[in-house]
Chains A and B, each alone.
Chain A
Amino acid sequence: MELDTLVAQCKAGDEIAWEALVRRIQGRVFGLCFHYLRDREEAREVAQETFIRIYRGMKSFDGSGSFLAWSVRIARNCCFDRLRKQKTLATHGAATIDDPDYGRELVEKREGFVDTQVRNQLLRKALDGMSAINREMILLKDIQGLKQREIADLLSIPLGTVKARSNRARTELAERVLDLDPSYGA
């Protein structure tokens, strides 16, 4: 079933559609929360809070934009609220991700698990070394797949800035990955 159809049914009060919607996007919401918070338990709590906010705000979603982008915006706000509470926003850049489950679901289906795990850890390490804005650009555009216009609205920056910065961020990530492993992509 299409996501838009599910959303419409949820707005009409269909609880089964709501459960289907939760199952459909739980991985993306949880992955996004984990990317920001770097802790499974924290990410779980914030992902649940995100869904509660989505549920309560469903009627206010007018459908003018992408539902996924709307969900990402809510999840991001929830994560930033939590980070503010933890007062770890300032030191967040130095954190590292060691969770081997990160991004496992889809990649595991495509290739061998060991290779995937190694590549994911490589990418995470490279992402950790990037500036916060470039890392977020990679997260929103290349990982979450948001459109440039949606990212510009979300971050309140001009569309041209998003275009320029996203290319720069991709190139920076590729260079960092190659620095860590020159055989990446060979």
Chain B
Amino acid sequence: MECTRFEELLFERLEGSLDEARSEELTAHATACDRCGDLENLLTSPAQAGTGGAVVPDDLAESVLALTSAREPLQRALRQLDLDLPAMASMVPDDDFVADVMAATTVADKQRFWYRAREFWHGLAQRPRFALEGAYLGAVTVVLLVGMPWSPFADMREQVLTELRGQDSIVRTTLAEGTSRIGRISTVTWSRASEIMSGEVELPELALHPTIARPLAAWRDRVAGWFAAVWTSVFKPTFDWIVGPWTTNAGDLSSDAPAPPELSDEDNNEHPTRRSA
């Protein structure tokens, strides 16, 4: 028997799995070979086997097995994680991704400048306070340009005011025409209304049977009388109070301006029921 074969069979005998015939062969070789005999003594001696001669508790092996078997799934999972997790690092984007990145980065120098300027501007404009900052910056710029004594355009305000003063007659004329026309239209319209309400205008006869027309006409006249009273005591003074200054100011403003245009025929159209004075 060769020594290497002896070593293999020796471990089998220690485990108790060697048959008797083989075990006798093993003993014969150990007797004949000093080296293999020493190895057998070493492994079969409890003191040399690492126990120090101490009595091994009966449940030691079971305890170790229980402990290691409980940890075993976790260890297996950790080993599997070592394989699976690095594989999750990479993920394939679509085919156009590289082309898009290259287009966004490797443009010509001139284009790159404008690209960066555009990106910068977009980033700036998308900030929430951009409008407020823009208004603030604009106001500061205007003040610096025209508002300070040392500003380069400090005399611009005076120039503008002088120009406007030179155009003063046009402004005054336009204002006078507008207010005068509004005043006259309002006066005519409200005067007609007041004539109707105050009974100066004879209302037409109702084209109904006299038994119905008379009470209706009486009721209508009574309502018209109430309106006339309210008109003369409330609306007319209020209207005069509102319109009066306008017409007066318009007259003042238009003192050196052309006379306001006459009302058109439509404006002066008399009410068909107005009495001829």
> Which residues from chain A sit less than 8 Å from chain B, CB to CB?
15, 18-19, 22-23, 26-28, 30-32, 34-35, 43-44, 47-48, 51-52, 55, 101-107, 110, 116, 119-120, 123, 138, 142-145, 170-171, 173-175, 177-178, 182, 184-186
Contact flag A105-B98 (CB < 8 Å), given A170-B78, A184-B77: no
**Which of chain A's residues has its CB closest to B102's CB?**
A19
Report the 9 A-B pairs with minimum CB-CB distance, sorted nearest first: A27-B90, A185-B80, A103-B88, A31-B91, A185-B76, A174-B77, A107-B87, A142-B85, A55-B105
Min CB gap A129→B, angstroms: 15
Q: Please classify the interface of chain B as helix (H, G, I), strand (E, B), loop, or mixed, using the class held by over half of its residues.
A: helix
Given A170-B78, A174-B77, A178-B73, do A52 and B97 touch, yes or no (CB 8 Å)? no
- Rounded to whole Å, the gap between the CB of B70 and the closest CB of chain A is 12
Q: Does B92 contact A (CB under 8 A)?
A: yes
**Cα–Cα, bound, A166→B181 (Å):** 88
How many angstroms between the C-alpha atoms of A32 and B93 in the bound complex?
12
With a CB–CB cut-off of 8 A, which chain A residues contact B73? 178, 182, 185-186
Check if B86 sits within 8 Å of A30, measured CB to CB: no
Query: Which residue of B74, B79, B87 contacts A103 across the interface (Cβ within 8 Å)?
Result: B87
Evaluate contact between B77 and A47: CB separation under 8 angstroms: no
Q: A145-B86, A185-B77 are in contact. Are A22 and B98 (CB under 8 A)?
A: yes
**CB contact between B78 and one of A32, A48, A174 (< 8 Å): that residue:** A174
Complex-state Cα separation, A174 to B146, whole angstroms:
72
Q: Known contacts being A170-B78, A174-B78, A185-B77, is A18 close to B105, with CB within 8 Å? A: yes
**A137 smallest CB distance to B (angstroms):** 11
The one of B78, B84, B89 in contact with A31, judged by C-beta atoms closer than 8 angstroms, is B89
Q: How far is the CB of A181 from chain B (nearest CB, A)?
A: 9
Q: What is the CA–CA distance of A26 and B77 in the complex, to the nearest angstrom?
A: 29
Chain A's nearest CB lies how many Å from the CB of B107?
Answer: 10
A143 and B86 contacting across the interface, CB-CB below 8 Å = yes
B 2-36 to A, binary, CB cutoff 8 A, 1 in contact else 0 = 00000000000000000000000000000000000
Residues of A within 8 A of B92 (CB): 27, 30, 101, 104-105
A51 contacts across to B, CB distance below 8 A: 101, 104-105
Shortest beta-carbon distance, A112 to chain B, in Å? 13
A-B contact count (CB 8 A): 123
CB neighbours (8 Å) of A177 from chain B are 77, 81
Q: List 26 A-B contacts (CB under 8 A).
A: A18-B105, A22-B101, A27-B89, A27-B90, A27-B93, A28-B89, A30-B92, A31-B91, A44-B97, A48-B100, A103-B87, A103-B89, A103-B91, A120-B88, A123-B88, A142-B85, A143-B85, A145-B89, A171-B78, A174-B81, A175-B74, A177-B81, A182-B73, A184-B77, A185-B73, A186-B76
Q: Which residues of B contact A142 (CB under 8 A)?
A: 81-82, 85-86
Summarize A's interface: helix, strand, loop or mixed.
helix
Write the nearest CB–CB distance from B92 to chain A, whole angstroms.
Answer: 5
Q: Are B89 and A30 in contact (CB under 8 A)?
A: no
Are A143 and B88 interface neighbours, CB within 8 A?
yes
- Which A residue's beta carbon lies closest to that of B74? A174
Q: How far is the CA of A175 from the CA of B86 in the complex (A)?
A: 18
Q: How far is the CB of B91 from chain A (nearest CB, A)?
A: 4
Q: Is B158 close to A, CB under 8 A?
A: no
B106 engages A15 (CB within 8 Å): yes
**CB-based contact A30/B102 at 8 Å:** no
In the bound complex, residues from chain A placing their C-beta under 8 Å from that of B88 are: 31, 35, 102-103, 107, 120, 123, 143
Q: A102-B91, A107-B87 are in contact. Are A30 and B77 (CB under 8 A)?
A: no
- Could you say which of B86, B87, B89, B93 contacts A26, with CB atoms under 8 Å apart? B93
Given A48-B101, A185-B79; A31-B74 close (CB under 8 Å): no
Is B265's CB within 8 Å of the partner chain A? no
Instruction: Considering the complex, give the chain A residue whose CB is closest to the CB of B82.
Output: A142
Residue of B nearest to A13 (CB): B106
B87 near A110: Cβ-Cβ < 8 Å: yes
**Bound-state Cα–Cα, A138 to B78, Å:** 12
Q: Is B163 at the interface (CB under 8 A from chain A)?
A: no
List residues of chain A with CB within 8 A of the CB of B76. Answer: 184-186
- CB-CB nearest in chain A for B93: A30
